[in-house]
Amino acid sequence: MKIAIIGAGWAGLAAAIESTRAGHSTVVFEASRVIGGRARALTGALPDGTPVTLDNGQHILIGAYSESLRLLRLVGVDPEVALMRLPMMLLFPDGRGLRFPHWPTPLDALAGIVSARGWSLADKWCLLLAAAGWQAGDFQCEAASTVTQLCQRLSPRVMTELIEPLCVSALNTPADQASAQVFLRVLKDALFGVPGGSNLLLPRVDLSALFPQAASRWLTRHGGQLRLGTRVESLLPQGTRWQIQGEDFDIVILAMSASGSVSTLEKTVPLVNDFPASKIRLWTDFASQLPFQAITTVYAWGNYAGLPYPMLALRSNGGATGQSSGLAPAQFVFDRGQLGGPQGLLAFVVSASNDSREALQAQVIRQAQMQLGLTLQAVQTVVEKRATFACRPGLQRPLQQIAPGLLACGDYVAGPYPATLEGAVRSAVAAIKTGLLDVYDAH
């Protein structure tokens, strides 16, 4: 069959690879001339003018991201080389916090909790009891529960130093607003999934080199087409097929952002008959109502600036509310000098950010001085205003199937994962399987 994929981010490229592997003719349309979507490399310069490669936001993977790791290997990227594997840790600059040892799953989590620095026996015991209860309940809870409600019996220290930073990093949603069910799913896969599922995987290469560029090369070698600078404004139905710019396709998969997909579909509705038009309108209604959150990454540099570990947690005064206003908005800092970048370059991440670029940058520079004792100069601040959807309890995400032969994939589409690279990749793989089954059934 002939399959069109609109969008060359991680989801679109993953869908193209799966389609090509299944033996189908695959064409990827990308409006810009840069691939990678919201996880790609950027160019910047240090204060002295030295060119430097940055990322459109500091991303992190975990060992439980099985589909992402499978695709990396498939396109020729060795995860053990491109990613720095570390045991799960949430350590603060003062040395307090939690760090798992290199033990089998889930003993690593048990040992990490027992040995957490700065925690009392009561702190550790309440977390162990809660974790045992979550496991006994197969990591299921009431759909309407928030993470704060799920963890209401945990001590304030455990909430502040573990649950809140973990929640905002995984779901990009403050704990008092975040879905407890999605949070539990991530915990289940990390703690009781594949061996090493809780490991942190920090990119040693820029995000474009990590997957998009290798995926593009693989796709070209195996007969797929990647058409950059080609914007798809609308789709035209042709019987059981869809036409894009005069070319007919058996299946079309929208791998754009939610807003981009809605825009294309709204221009498509007047061109189709009542049945698919009503299905398309229903899908766009759901997609249009998704609440989104911003993520800000502040890159800063200083002479001899560095961290004791490649990544540290920071004490953010946002707390459970996620309000980034104040002197300490960043929840994490990464030492890019330990991750293949120039020495002295740090990346500060502000999840669920609200303030302006200028305000956040100034606050992070002050936070670095107060919590790390470092005097830094701002290099570049990247604000992704619609980085992820707000992962709230009971949130209705748009389904994968839009109309016959027309599907969507991406980290915002209905699925068990929050808005992560793994969520985007899994959605893409599922879209190809669903689309092919639908077409086979129709014939």
pLDDT, tens only, 300-311: 999 989 999 999
Q: How confident is the model at residue 105 (pLDDT cuts 50, 70, 90)?
A: confident
Question: What pLDDT is stored for residue 220 in this prediction?
Answer: 96
Residue with tokens 């942190």: 200
Question: What pLDDT is stored for residue 347 in this prediction?
Answer: 98
C-alpha 240: how far from chain center: 34
Query: HSE-up of 414 (CA within 13 Å, CB side)?
Result: 13
Contact 252, 245 (CB under 8 A): no
C-alpha 137: how far from chain center: 27
Q: Indicate the helix (H) or strand (E) that contains 211.
A: none
Question: What pLDDT is stored for residue 57 in this prediction?
Answer: 92
CA distance readout (Å), 180 to 147, 149, 173, 307, 388: 4, 8, 11, 32, 17
Angle at which helices 421-442 and 66-74 cross, to 10°: 80
Q: Which two tokens stand for residue 42?
A: 């950027």
Question: What pLDDT is stored for residue 322 in this prediction?
Answer: 42
Which of these, 387, 288, 375, 436, lies nearest to 37 by C-alpha position? Answer: 387
Q: How confident is the model at residue 435 (pLDDT cuts 50, 70, 90)?
A: confident
Domain ranges across the chain: 2-39+211-290+393-442, 41-67+201-206+292-389, 88-198
**Considering the domain 2-39+211-290+393-442 in this protein, what is its CATH number?**
3.50.50.60
Q: What angle do CA 77, 79, 83 make, to 5 degrees?
A: 115
CA distance readout (Å), 440 to 5, 30, 396: 19, 27, 28
Residue with tokens 């603060």: 92
User: By percentage, how much of the chain surpasses pLDDT 70?
Assistant: 97
Number of other residues whose CB lies within 10 A of the CB of residue 48: 7
Which of the 8 DSSP states describes residue 57?
A: S
| pLDDT tens per residue across span 26-60 | 999 999 999 999 999 999 999 999 999 999 999 99
Radius of gyration of the chain (CA): 22
Q: Which two tokens stand for residue 275?
A: 């049945």
The pTM score is: 0.94
Which of these, 163, 86, 75, lies nearest to 127 by C-alpha position? Answer: 163
Q: Which residues contact 352 (CB under 8 A, 6 or more apart)?
A: 168, 172, 173, 174, 293, 294, 295, 318, 322, 324, 390
User: By percentage, how much of the chain surpasses pLDDT 90?
Assistant: 88
Contact 26, 224 (CB under 8 A): yes
Q: Which two tokens stand for residue 176?
A: 């008092």
Q: Indicate the helix (H) or strand (E) that contains 297.
A: strand 292-301
First to last CA, the chain: 12
Question: What pLDDT is stored for residue 239 in this prediction?
Answer: 86
Average model confidence (pLDDT) across the chain = 93
Assess whether pLDDT exceeds 70 at residue 320.
no
Contact 263, 16 (CB under 8 A): no
| pLDDT tens per residue across span 246-258 | 999 999 999 999 9
Phi, psi of 421 (to 5 degrees): -60, -40
